[in-house]
Structure 1
C-alpha cells in the first residue's frame, strides 16, 4: 500500500510539473506574440509617419520646372510680358465675369486647376483667374502663363510682394501665421515624444506633418476681402483640385463655404466680423494650451463662418482623394463638380494613389516643352 501510494503521488507530481511547464510555455509564447504585435504596430506607425513626411518634399521634376521657368523669365522678354493684355485688364474687376481665385506656389498645380476649369466650362470666355503666389514663385508662375497663353480666359498672376496692405493688416497676418506656427510646433513636439502605434485614431495626429499647416498662402484665404477689394463675389479653389463641371457653380446666388471649393460673397463678408472672429479663436486656442483643435486652417474657419454658410449637395465635392486609401467610386467622381485631393498624397507626388492620379494628370499638358524637359509624367 505504501509503495503504491508513493507511486500515485509521484505520478501526480509529474503531471503537475508538466502542466506548469506547459503553462509557462504558453505564457512565454503569449508574451512573445504581444511583443511581436507591438513591434509590428510600431513599425506600421513609423511607416505611416515616413509616408506623411514624403509629402514635404518637392519632386525633382517640379523643382526643375520652377528653375527652367525662372530662367526663362530672366532671358525671354515674352516670359516677362504683361498678363493679361491691356485690352483685357478691365475684366479683372468687371462683375459680369466669373472670378476664380487660386492661392498657390505650385506652377503645375495652378495650370491643372485652370486647364480643367476651362475644359469643363460652358462659357470659358467668361472666366477670369486670379493666381496669387509668393515672391519666390512669382517669376516662374508669371513665365508659365505668359508663355502658355490661353485665349479663352483671362489670367492674372500677382505676387504677395506686390500688395500694398495697411500696417494693421500686415500686423494681423503676421500674428495669424505666428500662432499657426506655435500650434503646429506644439503638436509636432508631442508627436515626436509619442511611441506612435498604428491606430485609426492616431491618423489625425500626423496631419501636423502637412506643410500646409504653416503655409502663408494656405491661411490667407481668410483675407480674401482685403486681397480683392474691388470684387464682390469669387470662387476660391485649392490648388489640389480638378474641375468636373463648373457650369452650376456660378449659378449660386448665396455664398457658401466648403473646404477645397468655395464661393464667397465678399460684399456680404465685408459686413461681418468673420475675419476678427477667426483671429479671436486662434488666440483662444493659444491661451487654452492648444487644446481646441489640431493644426490647420479649417477648424478656426469653421467656427468663424458659423451662421454664414449655405449647405450644398455633398456629391458636388469628391474629397479625400489625397488620403492613403481613398474611396474611389468612378460614377461619383465623374459626376462631381470638384475632385479634391485633400490629404498628404497630392497627385503630383509619387505617394499619390495610382487609381486617382490619372484624373489629375489628364489635365497636364504633356506636350509642353518644359513639362517634357523636366520629365513630368503620371
Structure 2
C-alpha cells in the first residue's frame, strides 16, 4: 500500500512539473513576441520625437499631421545638405546659388550681389508693380466660389452658406461686369471682398467630395481658356482692322473736303504755277498718299525745317476717291512759298500699263519679316518692317519726264531738318539713294528673292526717304528690268506685296547709294525701344509699322514728334473730331 501510494505520488509530481515548464515556455514566448512588437514601436516613437518636436509634449504624445510630414522632409533635407555639402566660400557665385536652392523664401534685405543667378537677384531686376490688385483678387475669389458652390448646394444642412455664396457670386459678377480697373470699382468694395472671403473660408471648412470640387475647377479653367482664346483672336482681328482701315474722323475729313470742293468755285491756283511743276532746277518732292492729314503733316514739316522754301515743289499722287479732298485741302492751306501739285493716278496718261494693278498697288509696300538671331545658347526672334517701292514708283521717269532728280517721301514720315543737302550728293552713278537696313541681308530673304544671282551679304534698302536719279534710271531702263522680274513670278503663287518686295530689291541690285543713318530713323511704328536722343538727331522719322501716328494705336511717346507739325486751326478738323 505504502509502496503503491508512493508510486502514485511520484507521478503527480512529474505531471505538475511538466505543466509548470509548459507554462513558463508559453510565457517566455509571449514575452518575446510582445518585446518584438514594443521595440520597433519604441524606436519609431523615439525617431519621431527626435526629429519633429523640439519641445515634446510632457505626456509623450505628439499629433502627426500632413504639415508635420512636410516639415520633417524639408528639415531633414536641409540637414543633409548642410552636413554633406562641400565647404565653399560665401563669396563664391556657386555658394549663393546652392544656398538659395535649399530655402523656401528669400529675405528682402539679403545681399543679392552675392547671390548671382538666384531668384533674389532676378526678382529685384524684374519686379513690376502689380496693377489693379483688387480686381484681380475679386476674379480669384469668384473663381474659387464658383468651384465650391455646386458641392455646397447639394448639402441640405448648408442652406444658409449656399445662399451666402450665391449672393456673393452675383454681387462680384455685377461689379466685374462694370469695372475693369481698380479705379472703376464702386465704394465699399472692401466689405464685399471681406464677405466673399468669409464665405469661401466657411465653404472650405465644410466636408465635401474633393473630386467634385476638382472637377468644377477644371471645368471653369477650360471655360476660361476658351474665353481667353476667343478674346485673343477677336483682339487680333480688331487690331488688324484698326490698322488697315481709315479712322472715322479721317474719313469724315476726306468726305467733307470732297463736298466742299464741288460747292466752291473752281480751283485755278495750280494753273498759275504750272511752270514750276516741270522746272528741273527746283527741288521736287514726290509723295504717294491717300491720307490728307499725313500728307499735310509731311509737307508742313519739310517746309518749316527748310532754310529756303521758294524752290520746293511737292507732287502728291493719290487716287480718284481722295483727289478732290487733297486738291481743296492744299488750296485752303498754304505752306509758305512752297508749291503743291495734286495728281490723280487714274487720269495719268499710262495706256501701256494695267491701271487696275497700279491703283491697287500705288502706295509704298511694307513687308514684315521675322528673323531668328542666335545669341549664345539662346535664340531670339526679331521682327523687322521693310518698306519698298510700289508698282507706280517705277513709272516715275514716265510721269515726270522733264525732271532729272526727285526726292521720294512716304506719307508716314515727318521731317525734322533741312533736306536741301540731299540735292548736292554725288551718287557716283547710283540710281537710288536710300538708308539701308543692315539688320536684314538679302541672303535672309532667300525664300522671297529666289535663286537669282545677287550678293547675299548686301543690306536691304528702305523706302521712306529716297533720292532718285531719274536721268540715270532712264539710261539703264530700270522700269523694264522691274517689269521683267515681276513677270518671272506667277501672280497666283505669291501675293502682290511679295512680288513688289522681290522686284524692288533685285531691280536696284548694286545701284543703291547708302545714305548716312542720321538722315532717316525707322521703326517708330512698331519699335517701343528706340532711343529718344537718336530720334531727336535724325533728319527724317519713319513711322513704318502698324502703329501710325495718326491712329489711336500709335506709340504715345513718338506721337509728339509728328503732332507738332499738324495744323489744328482748320475748322474741319474740329468738326470731324480729328484728334490724333
Of 256, 260, 274 in structure 2, the residue corresponding to residue 68 of structure 1 is: 256
Q: Is the contact between residue 321 and residue 342 of structure 1 (CA under 8 Å) also seen in structure 2?
A: yes
Of 506, 514, 528 in structure 2, the residue corresponding to residue 311 of structure 1 is: 514
3-state secondary structure, aligned to 1:91: helix
Q: Is the contact between residue 284 and residue 312 of structure 2 (CA under 8 Å) also seen in structure 1?
A: yes
Q: Distance in 1 between matches of 2:361 and 2:250?
A: 30
Shift of 1:66: 0.7
Q: Is the contact between residue 126 and residue 153 of structure 1 (CA under 8 Å) also seen in structure 2?
A: yes
| Number of residue equivalences | 327
Of 231, 245, 248 in structure 1, the residue corresponding to residue 421 of structure 2 is: 248
Q: Is the contact between residue 257 and residue 329 of structure 2 (CA under 8 Å) also seen in structure 1?
A: yes
Q: Distance in 1 between matches of 2:315 and 2:360?
A: 26
Q: Distance in 1 between matches of 2:489 and 2:308?
A: 44
1:321 paired residue number? 524
2:282 paired residue number? 97
Q: Is the contact between residue 176 and residue 279 of structure 1 (CA under 8 Å) also seen in structure 2?
A: no
Of 566, 572, 576 in structure 2, the residue corresponding to residue 364 of structure 1 is: 566
Q: How does 1:139-154 map to 2 (within 5 A)?
A: 139-154=324-339
Of 159, 165, 175 in structure 1, the residue corresponding to residue 344 of structure 2 is: 159
3-state secondary structure, aligned to 1:248: helix
3-state secondary structure, aligned to 1:102: strand
Structure whose alpha-carbon radius of gyration is higher: 2
2:477 paired residue number? 273
What do you get for the CA RMSD once the two structures are aligned? 4.1
Q: Is the contact between residue 259 and residue 298 of structure 1 (CA under 8 Å) also seen in structure 2?
A: no
Change beyond 3 A, Cα 1:287–1:236: closer
Q: Distance in 2 between matches of 1:239 and 1:141?
A: 13
Structure (1 or 2) with the greater strand fraction? 2
Q: How does 1:122-137 map to 2 (within 5 A)?
A: 122-137=307-322
Q: How does 1:1-378 map to 2 (within 5 A)?
A: 47-77=235-265, 80-86=266-272, 88-166=273-351, 168=352, 170-171=353-354, 174=356, 218-245=390-417, 246-254=419-427, 255=431, 256-257=433-434, 258-286=462-490, 289-290=493-494, 295=498, 297-323=500-526, 325-378=527-580
Instruction: Give 5+ residue unaligned stretches, structure 1.
Output: 8-32, 188-198
Q: Is the contact between residue 303 and residue 336 of structure 2 (CA under 8 Å) also seen in structure 1?
A: no
Change beyond 3 A, Cα 1:49–1:316: farther
**Deviations 1:34-75 (Å, cap 9, x if unpaired)?**
x99999789657644542331112111101111111111011
**Deviations 1:129-153 (Å, cap 9, x if unpaired)?**
0111111111100010112233411
| TM-score, L = length of structure 2 | 0.50
Q: Is the contact between residue 486 and residue 500 of structure 2 (CA under 8 Å) also seen in structure 1?
A: no
3-state secondary structure, aligned to 1:89: helix
Shift of 1:282: 2.6
| TM-score, L = length of structure 1 | 0.74
1:28 paired residue number? none
Q: Distance in 2 between matches of 1:322 and 1:106?
A: 16
Instruction: Give 5+ residue unaligned stretches, structure 2.
Output: 1-32, 41-220, 369-378, 435-461
Q: Distance in 2 between matches of 1:51 and 1:40?
A: 16
Q: Distance in 2 between matches of 1:287 and 1:163?
A: 25
**Deviations 1:352-374 (Å, cap 9, x if unpaired)?**
11111111111111111111221
Q: Is the contact between residue 316 and residue 343 of structure 2 (CA under 8 Å) also seen in structure 1?
A: yes
Change beyond 3 A, Cα 1:161–1:54: same
**Deviations 1:209-233 (Å, cap 9, x if unpaired)?**
x9x99xxx94311221122111110
3-state secondary structure, aligned to 2:490: helix
3-state secondary structure, aligned to 2:321: helix
Q: Distance in 2 between matches of 1:240 and 1:287?
A: 28
Shift of 1:273: 3.5
2:186 paired residue number? none
Change beyond 3 A, Cα 1:250–1:42: farther
